[in-house]
Amino acid sequence: MQLTSFLIPEKAPLRDALLKIEANHHGFVLTTSVAGSVIGLATDGDIRRKLLEGSKLDEPVAASANAEFVWAFPGTPREILLKKLDHRIRVIPLLDANRFLVGIISRDQLPVQPEEPVYARSRAPVRISFGGGGSDLTHYFASDTGAVINTTISLYSHATLRVRDDEKIIVHSLDLGDTLSADDFEHALKQEGRFGLIQAIIKAVHPDFGFELELHSDFPMNSGLGGSAAVSAAVLGCFNQFRRDQWSLHELAELAYQAERHYLGVAGGWQDQYATVFGGFNFMEFRMDQNIVHPLRVHSDTLLELEESLVLCDTGISHDSGDIHQDQRLRMRQENVIKLVQTNVELSYRMRNQLLRGELLQFGQSLHEAWQYKRQFSGKISTPRLDSIYESALAHGAVGGKLLGAGGGGFFLFYVSTFRKHELITNLEKAGLKTRPFRFEQDGLRSWTARERKNELKIQN
């Protein structure tokens, strides 16, 4: 659209104005001052009325122009423009701060909203596992079926990603208190430091663009809550927002597993990746042909009661899950350990049924049974300090419980009998331990995009 075909000096004759209107096919012209700013609007109807009143074709168009015409700034919301066009207005000139014409809006000429820069955000919850641990290791279910039961809770890993115009890669981690900065993809993978997991994810994704990534989590590192899987899922969720062919939930879980287990080389099972991506209460079965995630339809009253009956306790002891899993893998060759894992799998089926039937006291007792099996998988899973914490919890109201994750430290989960929760929490805190409130999280990985211009605060220098 040639904007000059709408502009005419205010002293130009009516004859020229009619020629302009004939040329622009929109039925109006805009009169301009000597400086070029728009000061009025004249329609073909306005000019005809003037001529019928006796005006001559060589008289100036200014006499036919309306100085109180409707116009808008370029950034006017589309909603307002649409409402004005609904209100018997055919055209709306767009004028800048100096009243220079920068565009024309009409019912037939309403431009498509241009794409603006966006950033991606995501959050992924951690999980608490109830039973079946150890059976989600590939070297176990290569010859037998693994089965675990778990749920996600309201502690998350958060990620924010924006695409850059160059190839640079910058990663800020609040958890690590550190930043990775690289000139390009290859340089990012060669950087030495504490960003091994993020580098493994970048390698799995292989982005063809530069980006800035910010990360933080609601939980401590090496907590036994499957935190590394939550971090991986959150990062993958952000990258997925920039894909036209988005990864499915299974593909996201597999990519997270690939990054941590194969590229980073940390030993471990499969349940963490599926739990954080799918979310909610799930019963998972692991076989070599496929992994199956069964969502559990637990009655809401049962979930509320279970939520109030569980206590999450931070032992303050960090652990190396990869080292424990590696030791467990070696011990898995022993017949007695294989039988322990098989018994734990059978127990997880029983716990599933107890949960579905609302038999929570039995469920709490099964947690105790699961812990007794688990602590025999490897000599690195429990310690005298951890045994002391557990025995003290049993003496102060806990029906059962277990150490979450691989073991060796991190968080204990206790099921406490009715009316003794305060006693248990008080006892744990007297021992210098911290309890962490939580709620069950029914959603898994969540990711979305937002416009930068709409959400970014401009800093004035």
- What's the pLDDT tens digit per position in 129-155? 999 988 999 988 999 999 999 999 999
User: What's the pLDDT tens digit per position in 154-180?
Assistant: 999 999 999 999 999 999 999 999 999
CB 239, CB 205: distance < 8 Å: yes
The residues facing 312 across adjacent strands are: 413
More confidently predicted of 455 and 233 = 233
The residues facing 447 across adjacent strands are: 122
Kindly tell me if the per-residue pLDDT of 304 is higher than 90.
Answer: yes
pLDDT level of residue 374 (50, 70, 90 thresholds): confident
Go through the chain and tell me how many residues it has. Answer: 461
Homologous superfamily assigned to 3-106: CBS-domain (3.10.580.10)
- Residues whose CB is less than 8 angstroms from the CB of residue 98 and which lie 6 or more positions away in sequence, other chains included: 37
Nearest to 50 by CA among 36, 40, 60, 37: 60
- Average pLDDT value over all residues in the chain: 92
Q: What is the mean pLDDT of residues 316-325?
A: 64
Active site residue 183: no
DSSP state, residue 66: B
What's the topology of domain 119-441?
Ribosomal Protein S5; domain 2 (3.30.230)
339's enclosing H/E stretch is helix 335-356
pLDDT of amino acid 460? 47
Q: What is the mean pLDDT of residues 402-431?
A: 92
- One-letter amino acid for residue 261 of the chain: R
pLDDT of amino acid 224? 85
Q: Rounded distance, CA 211 to CA 376, Å?
A: 45
What is the number of other CB atoms lying within 10 angstroms of the CB of residue 436?
16
What is the number of other CB atoms lying within 10 angstroms of the CB of residue 194?
12
For CATH 3.30.230.120, the residue range(s) in the chain are: 119-441
User: Can you tell me whether residue 127 is helix, strand or coil?
Assistant: strand
Q: Rounded distance, CA 243 to CA 206, Å?
A: 12
User: What's the pLDDT tens digit per position in 86-124?
Assistant: 877 888 999 999 999 999 998 888 877 778 899 999 999
Kindly tell me if the per-residue pLDDT of 188 is higher than 60.
Answer: yes
Kindly tell me if the per-residue pLDDT of 336 is higher than 90.
Answer: no
The token duo for 437 is 């409130």
For CATH 3.10.580.10, the residue range(s) in the chain are: 3-106
Q: Which of 46, 218, 272, 327 is catalytic?
A: 272
User: What's the pLDDT tens digit per position in 54-76?
Assistant: 999 999 999 999 999 999 999 89
More confidently predicted of 323 and 12 = 12
Q: Rounded distance, CA 259 to CA 261, Å?
A: 6
What are all long-range contacts of 27-36, with beta carbons under 8 Å and residues at least 24 apart? 27/90, 27/91, 28/90, 28/91, 29/61, 30/6, 30/93, 30/101, 31/61, 31/62, 31/65, 32/7, 32/8, 34/9, 36/7, 36/100
Q: What is the mean pLDDT of residues 439-446?
A: 97
pLDDT level of residue 235 (50, 70, 90 thresholds): very high
pLDDT of amino acid 459? 47
Model confidence, pTM: 0.84
